Structure 1
Amino acid sequence: MTRSTNQEVANQKATDQLTVLPTCHEPLEILRQDEAFVVVNKPSRLLSVPGRSTWNRDCVIERLRVDFPGVHAVHRLDFDTSGLLVVPLDKPSLSHLSRQFQARQVRKTYIAVVHGWVEAEEGRIEEPIAPDADNRPKSKICAGGKPAVTDYRVLERDAQANTTRLALYPVTGRSHQLRLHCRALGHPILGCDFYAPEVVRQMADRLLLHASELEFAHPVSGDRVQFHCPAPF
């Protein structure tokens, strides 16, 4: 067996071991469409882009390509996270929006419900994040990771349920940043099957994390545009 054949076999075995995700039956809601982009409300448990496994092709991008061939993702939401995504419709808009994300000129707000009573009315979490090589696809907080910053503000506290509703404002965009930073704060997000204790995971039937606001400069006009989508929980 040649080296290339060995590699092909290894790649196939790795693909076979990938998790096959359940089918998402919720529709993809288009909130705005113009000449440069579409803004959608992604349901929880739908991929933003196709997964590595051939069984995990259903995603925001593939659904949009039915009506908008050639679209490409400029940013993503986790599989379990719901909310706002902007998808450029042409290459100039893709380049324009990519530069905004890289320069941190896109303002994003998330809503989360976390376990416990968050004491401070607002604050900042600064904990570096790196991929967890031993537990893919998880990430981890570690000294050698990339800088990660999240601001937060308390919206509501529920003493009876022992939960707090937070507005989260990610300054950086590391993988699983909001989940890891909430856990580092001592208040994991309800329904998080990656980083929350089992009792907290079982407190919700989905991850209670939603991208509720998105603001950026329009790729054509340059005007700031803002979109809002309330959390479904």
Structure 2
Amino acid sequence: MEDATTRVVGADHAGQRLDKALAALLGESRAHVQRLIDAGLVTVDGEPANKSMKPETGQTITIGTPAPVVIAPPPEVPVRWEDDHLAVVAKPADLVVHAGAGVRGPTLVDALLAQGMTLAPGEDPERPGIVHRLDRGTSGLLVVAKTPEAMLALKAMFRIHDVDRAYWALVEGLPDPAEASIDAPIVRSPRNRTTFTTGDGGRDAITHYRVETYHPVTDTTELEVTLETGRTHQVRVHMRAVGRPVAGDIAYAANTVLSRRLRLERQALHAKRLLFAHPITGEGVEVTEPLPDDLELARQRAAG
């Protein structure tokens, strides 16, 4: 092995399990050594090793160097509106907004910082500039704060629901009535802690929807959805609650056959419009974002 480390087994470690002996020889944790063995980086006298084998005195253990971890650069995030205080950006699908538990790879915050944007510091150092979020699989418009003054003002605006947010959604079936509000508290699911449901004890949540186009060939409907509150997964949870899950949203009971037919690899949900008064200048800001290619193609397939 190139750049390999070798250790000769002495009497002190002979007869011990390899992972235990090697941890002592290297001064590393046993878990670290087990990962090296599982990765095929350890041999004993030139033969592949397993962690439970017991090397003998005089045998040579060779440890290879793990390949460097290649971290993909963050994607380019389009900026649709910007001044000295804030920016409205178009988040691509499959991009997490900020770092957190279980998050791997670059985030929206990483991408914006890499593009040279200054983001206002927040209470959480991993969330500079962030005042609201979109789910990983949801594309569309997001406003971020560049100054502390804008950060405080935008957070206040979101608390009092003073930002108009509109989504495009493709759902299964035809909602009845054609225009309605869904008022149902949202709570974390007791069965799956990564998803949510409606129920007692949850946080108040109100979603408004309006039917735009029904596609009888695939029995799907395009909706315009607006939010009065901003709970995690709100649109997805509420549409499932009324029996009209967002197409492609397997986590919330979407039909897998239809998802494949539409070639959806994520929920058909897109933040298409942001409308608000600039918190510093008072200027009216309205930004719209067309469907990305994958959702436009899914829309066309839905129409038959």
Aligned match of 1:31 = 80
Q: Secondary structure at the match of 1:156?
A: strand
Q: What's the counterpart of residue 100 of structure 2?
A: 51
**Which aligned pairs between 1:179-198 and structure 2 lie closer than 5 A?**
179-197=236-254, 198=256
2:257 to 180, 199, 202: 199
Tell me how far apart the structure 1 counterparts of residues 231 and 72 of structure 2 sit (CA, whole Å): 26
2:206 maps to amino acid: V
Deviations 1:117-151 (A, max 9, x none): 22322111111101224412211111221111111
Alignment of 1:165-184 (within 5 A): 165-184=222-241
C-alpha separation between the residues in 2 aligned to 1:40 and 1:206? 20
Moved more, 163-172 or 124-133: 124-133
User: Is residue 152–residue 169 contact of structure 1 (8 Å, CA) maintained in 2?
Assistant: yes
Give the number of aligned pairs.
211
Partner of 2:108: 60
Higher mean C-alpha displacement, 78-87 vs 185-194: 185-194
Coordinate RMSD, CA, aligned: 2.0
1:220 alignment partner in structure 2: 280
**Which of 219-228 and 155-164 deviates more?**
219-228
User: Shift in Å at residue 91 of structure 1?
Assistant: 0.4
Alignment of 1:99-118 (within 5 A): 99-118=156-175
Matched-pair contact (CA < 8 Å) for 2:245–2:253: yes
Give the structure with higher Rg (CA): 2
TM-score (ref. length: structure 2):
0.65
The answer to whether the 8 A contact 2:205-2:230 is kept is yes
Greater displacement, 78-87 / 141-150? 141-150
- Aligned-partner Cα distance in 1 for 2:281–2:191: 46
Contact kept, 8 Å, 1:24 with 1:45, in 2: the verdict is: no
Q: 1:173 to 1:24 in 2, by over 3 A?
A: farther
- Mapped to 2, the partners of 1:226 and 1:103 lie a distance apart of 19
Note the residue ranges of structure 1 that are not aligned, 5 or more in a row: 1-21
Report % sequence identity. Answer: 34
Q: Is residue 229 from structure 1 mapped to residue 289 from structure 2 by the alignment?
A: yes
- Aligned AA (1:221): T
CA 1:24–1:211 in structure 2 vs 1: closer, same or farther (change >3 Å)?
Answer: farther
Larger displacement relative to structure 2 (65-74 or 41-50): 65-74
State the alpha-carbon separation in 1 of the partners of residues 242 and 76 from structure 2: 34
Deviates more, 1:32-41 or 1:192-201: 192-201
Deviation at 1:57, TM superposition (A): 4.3
Residue by residue over 1:167-226, the C-alpha shift from the partner in whole angstroms, topping out at 9 and shown as x without a partner, is: 001111111110011111211001112102433544422210000011122122112211
- Higher RCO (CA < 8 A, seq sep 6+): 1
State the shift of 1:230 in Å.
Answer: 1.7
